[in-house]
Amino acid sequence: MTDITNERKIEHIEIIRSDKDVDRRKYYFDEISLVHRALPELNLSAVDPSVGFLGKQLSFPLLISSMTGGDHDVISKINRNMAIAAEATGVAMGVGSQRVMFTNPAATSSFEIRNDAPNTVLLANLGAVQLNCGFDLEKCQSAVDTLQADGLCLHLNPLQEAVQPEGDVDFSGLSDKIGYIAEHLGRPVIVKEIGCGISAVDAELLVSRGIKYIDVAGSGGTSWSRIEHYRQASGDSPESAGIAFQDWGIPTPVALESMRPYLKKITVIGSGGIRNGIDMVKAVILGATVCGLASPFLEPAKKSPEDVIRLIRKLRHEFIMAMFLLGIKDFESLHNNSSLVLNNNFKNQRH
């Protein structure tokens, strides 16, 4: 049986491979300069980047962001390779939308990765808009149980849905439904975007509904508008708005800045266009507890756990080096520490 949701994931991966411009490579974090210390007064080997997240300890603040799952060998392999690598290196991992396992039960095994990652943080995933399309608490619980997850990501993707002729575009009353799930699910709920960012207005709404975890997933990296444009260009749908909106959204550093007033109430994840350990350090300085990268993991994950581990080690090395060069010994001293910012061009442009 052909299942549109299942086929879509393979199409997405192929588009990302064949069009390098799907990653918008805006390098927004380069607009921020940090205070280099010529006298860090530290031994590099004493730098400790570990951080607590969802009751577990990560070796450094990395999340392999939600990407995939489905009834395909290549997709199962991607999830397993990432899970093995996440466990080996002590980082967190999310899976892609689990909606597919409700339409195609054969997809379920691609999400059963707890045996490959018995200890580390694993995050389940569903589209929040599905709560307006018949999905309920029971399905959210089932998504969490399949993964034996430490939390559930509910993703917000109004642009991605609006650009598809077959998209689910009824986003009315969603914040109440998200709040209901967060209150009744036995696991933390993380509300995330997928590359357009979460604004202060949305953060206010989510906080008022009891949400305690927000992944800003801002613009600057993977563009879902551009991906969906390709899917439609190959079909017989009317010409899409996907290219016009490909850079729509809130740049990730700006989205992080706007979460600052809420940091006492929520844990923030920074993602969207983060591409190295220096970007990660800047995201933590702007208030992120964990940093997510998605598309950079796709090609290594198609190959082997070792390829994924190599990328994680590179990110960790860069992260530790940047901490050392800032004279910062541990995560707590880095987090939300604006005294480390020499110049933030985003901020300067706004004031």
Ligand X SMILES: Cc1cc2nc3c(=O)[nH]c(=O)nc-3n(C[C@H](O)[C@H](O)[C@H](O)COP(=O)(O)O)c2cc1C
Angle between helix 277-285 and helix 252-259 axes, rounded to 10 deg: 30
Which of residues 194, 198, 216, 250 is near ligand X by CB under 6 A?
A: 194
The yes or no reply on residue 305 touching ligand X (CB under 6 A) is no
The yes or no reply on residue 159 touching ligand X (CB under 6 A) is no
* 3-class secondary-structure state, position 94: strand
Which of residues 160, 222, 225, 232 is near ligand X by CB under 6 A?
A: 222
Residue with tokens 């992944």: 215
Nearer to ligand X, 194 or 312 (CB): 194
The yes or no reply on residue 300 touching ligand X (CB under 6 A) is no
What the block records as the tokens of 210 is 């009891």
C-alpha torsion sign, points 315, 156, 11, 245: negative
The yes or no reply on residue 96 touching ligand X (CB under 6 A) is yes
Nearer to ligand X, 116 or 228 (CB): 228
- The C-alpha atoms of residue 264 and residue 129 are separated, in whole angstroms, by 28
The yes or no reply on residue 192 touching ligand X (CB under 6 A) is yes
Instruction: Name residue 122's beta-bridge partners.
Output: 93
The yes or no reply on residue 123 touching ligand X (CB under 6 A) is no
Task: Choose among 247, 260, 292: nearest CA to 155.
Answer: 292
Which of residues 101, 159, 185, 294 is near ligand X by CB under 6 A?
A: 294
Instruction: Name residue 123's beta-bridge partners.
Output: 94, 151
Q: Which of residues 59-88 bind ligand X (CB under 6 A)?
A: 65-68
CB-CB contact of 9 with 220 (8 Å): no
Nearer to ligand X, 67 or 163 (CB): 67
The yes or no reply on residue 164 touching ligand X (CB under 6 A) is no
Nearer to ligand X, 217 or 309 (CB): 217
* 3-class secondary-structure state, position 133: coil
With CB under 6 A as the contact rule, which of the stretches 51-59, 192-200, 201-209, 230-238 interacts with ligand X? Answer: 192-200
Distance of closest approach, residue 195 Cβ to ligand X, in angstroms: 5
The string of DSSP codes covering 245-312 is: TTT-S-BHHHHHHHHGGGTTT-EEEEESS--SHHHHHHHHHTT-SEEEE-GGGHHHHHH-HHHHHHHH
* 3-class secondary-structure state, position 23: strand
Distance of closest approach, residue 192 Cβ to ligand X, in angstroms: 5
The yes or no reply on residue 104 touching ligand X (CB under 6 A) is no
Distance of closest approach, residue 16 Cβ to ligand X, in angstroms: 6
Rg (CA), the chain: 19
Nearer to ligand X, 30 or 332 (CB): 30
Which of residues 79, 110, 130, 295 is near ligand X by CB under 6 A?
A: 295
C-alpha torsion sign, points 154, 155, 156, 161: negative
Distance of closest approach, residue 159 Cβ to ligand X, in angstroms: 12
Binding site for ligand X (CB under 6 A): 12-13, 16, 65-68, 96-97, 125, 153, 155, 192, 194-195, 217, 221-222, 271-274, 293-295, 298
